[in-house]
């Protein structure tokens, strides 16, 4: 009998599988396909202080080994999420969830996190610092160590629950950003977010996505995710949630060996809505194949 349980900053999960934010809605949409309570947890749709319609369409483009998206954090705003979306979620999912938070200023991040921290069903906050800093020339918070530090410190000052900072891979040295977050009090790190990419329509001779660029996700980025999780595991002492192109139980094992405690599954949910359930079902067999009895024992095992 194998043990798939893992613990993220005191939050025990039945297994490490977590659907990634933006690919699983608020959970109740996916509950039509299977009992989502088999999941370790899930990260719900990125939430901001104010409602956002998102970027103009088209905002999705396919690629040979993944997809580009420039959805632009479309969501109804934190107050409506708490009042309307989370009660619907709580009817179908009976475990603690991960609240994914976006923001365009340090103040906005802190205010949104403070509101979500008070929600009983939220077990952990995942702060997406790939958003543009409107007061810092539009540069992403996640590409500047000082800005990442400031957001982390501000959020930690107003929250009691564990805070995981979600990092952008669009940097020269991701360990520098991870260390800054740890120094500011982060309880953990989530990585990686999407890589910046572009596709061009040959007939129109113009970018396919209205926003011109979008975030690349899917299997194309998996080796980059493994590399960055491996590097960050050696750079910090706080736990990691790894993600980026995960499609199978084997991928989960690989990311955990690199240093991840939890593993998020993103774009694969858009290909097959039941992929997370299937990975969870496959995990015991794959663990036995590689002589793994207790999943928590392999975290960082490749170092």
pLDDT reading at 134 higher than 80: no
Q: Which residues are catalytic?
A: 131
Say whether pLDDT at 214 is over 80.
yes
Q: Where does 6-53+73-198+217-298 sit in CATH, by number?
A: 3.20.20.70
Say what the alpha-carbon torsion angle 76, 78, 82, 88 is, to the nearest 10 degrees.
Answer: 30
Please state, in angstroms and rounded to a whole number, the distance separating the CA atoms of residues 97 and 26. 10
pLDDT tier at 138, thresholds 50, 70, 90:
confident
Strands 11-13 and 6-8: antiparallel
Report pLDDT digits (tens) over 227-265. 999 999 999 999 999 999 999 999 999 999 999 999 999
End-to-end CA distance of the chain: 26
- 137: confidence class by pLDDT, cuts 50, 70, 90: confident
The average pLDDT across 169-178 equals: 97
Of 226, 211, 218, 282, the C-alpha closest to 17 is 282
Q: Answer whether 27's CB lies under 8 Å from 61's CB.
A: no
Q: Considering the entire predicted model, what is its pTM?
A: 0.97
């Amino acid at each position: 009998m194998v043990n798939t349980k893992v613990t993220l900053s005191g939050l025990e999960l039945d297994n490490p599988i977590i659907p990634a934010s933006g690919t699983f809605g608020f959970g109740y949409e996916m509950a039509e396909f299977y009992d989502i309570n088999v999941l370790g947890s899930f990260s719900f749709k990125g939430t901001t202080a104010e409602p956002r319609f998102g970027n103009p369409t088209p905002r999705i483009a396919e690629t040979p080994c993944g997809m580009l998206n420039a959805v632009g954090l479309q969501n109804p705003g934190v107050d409506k999420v708490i009042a309307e979306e989370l009660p619907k979620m709580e009817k179908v999912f009976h475990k603690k969830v991960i609240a994914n938070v976006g923001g365009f200023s340090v103040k906005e991040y802190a205010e949104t996190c403070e509101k979500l921290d008070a929600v009983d069903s939220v077990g952990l906050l995942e702060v997406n610092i790939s958003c543009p800093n409107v007061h810092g020339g539009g540069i992403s918070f996640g590409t500047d160590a000082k800005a990442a530090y400031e957001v982390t410190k501000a959020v930690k000052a107003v929250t009691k629950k564990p805070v995981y900072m979600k990092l952008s891979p669009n940097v020269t040295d991701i360990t520098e950003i991870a260390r800054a977050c740890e120094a500011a009090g982060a309880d953990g790190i989530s990585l990686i977010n999407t890589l910046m990419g572009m596709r061009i329509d040959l007939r129109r001779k113009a970018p396919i996505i209205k926003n011109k660029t979008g975030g690349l996700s899917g299997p194309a980025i998996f080796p980059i995710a493994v590399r960055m999780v491996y590097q960050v595991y050696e750079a910090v002492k706080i736990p990691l949630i790894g993600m980026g192109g995960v499609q199978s139980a084997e991928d989960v094992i690989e990311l955990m060996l690199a240093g991840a405690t939890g593993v998020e599954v993103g774009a694969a949910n858009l290909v097959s809505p039941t992929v997370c359930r299937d990975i969870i079902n496959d995990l015991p067999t794959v663990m036995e194949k590689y002589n793994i009895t207790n999943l928590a024992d392999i975290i960082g095992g490749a170092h």
